[in-house]
Amino acid sequence: MASGARSKYPVPLAPACGDRPAGPTSENLGLPVHQDVETILFDEAQIRLGIDRVASEVTAAYRGRPFTVVSVLKGSCVFASDLIRRIPIPLELAFVSASSYGDGTQSGQLHLNFFPAESEIAGRNLLLVDDILDTGRTLSRLVGEMKRRGAAEVRTCVFLDKPSRRAVPFQAEFRAFEVADLFVVGYGLDFAGHYRNLPYVGALKRECYEKRA
């Protein structure tokens, strides 16, 4: 996939990411984002299978119990929208926005940007859905916050799990895939705001993020 895009747009001396002083920008010559991908870790077919499996687990866990899927923006928007369409039982949908990465690849301060309305949390069974469980700080803090705001129950569902990076003890009840300790993009996951639209999960070429230092 990435190699096809590369041969169609041959720019060996000016790779799309190598020329960017501050990560990918709109001045990237309009080259396809596929150019910046080193390897594909999960392709579209694998992702579909992983989501089908998680959706069955979630369906079994919540059958006969009302629940709300809380999508953690922005990263989980692609996963959450595919996931809910594979869950055939009644559910409600809410959103919360949390960002912990800024423009880099190291986990930083967590900012909670907004919460669902109080009425969407209090007394509800919540399933927090996030793109990736890394250090665990984001989800453990969000779970605590939801409980503090009166949620009846809070469980978590992640698209990717990087257990080797955990800084606080945390386990998600549901997860689609485990990944090694490397920075991944695509299927909702970004680097400096870009690459969320890749339909697969991949690792970026080193020069895409090292150039920024």
By CB atoms closer than 10 A (0-12, 13-18, 19+), residue 193 is: exposed
| DSSP alpha helix (H) spans, the chain | 2-8, 44-62, 77-84, 137-148, 206-210
Residue 133 contact, options Mg ion, ligand 5GP, none, Cβ 5-8 Å cut-off depending on partner type = ligand 5GP
Residue 116 and residue 95 in contact, taking contact as beta carbons nearer than 8 Å: yes
Verify binding: residue 36, ligand 5GP, rule CB under 6 A: no
Verify binding: residue 59, ligand 5GP, rule CB under 6 A: no
Dihedral Cα 30, 36, 42, 46, nearest 10 deg: 30
d(CA 38, CA 187): 15
Verify binding: residue 116, Mg ion, rule CB under 5 A: no
Site track for ligand 5GP across 161-200, x = CB under 6 A: ----------------------xxx---xxx---------
CB of 64 to ligand 5GP, least distance (A): 30
Verify binding: residue 75, ligand 5GP, rule CB under 6 A: yes
Verify binding: residue 75, Mg ion, rule CB under 5 A: yes
- Of the candidate residues 57, 94, 135, 212, the single one contacting ligand 5GP (CB under 6 A): 135
Catalytic residues: 134
| Tokens, residue 195 | 């690459």
d(CA 196, CA 78): 8
CB of 79 to ligand 5GP, least distance (A): 11
Binding stretches for ligand 5GP (CB under 6 A): 75, 100-101, 107, 130-138, 183-185, 189-191
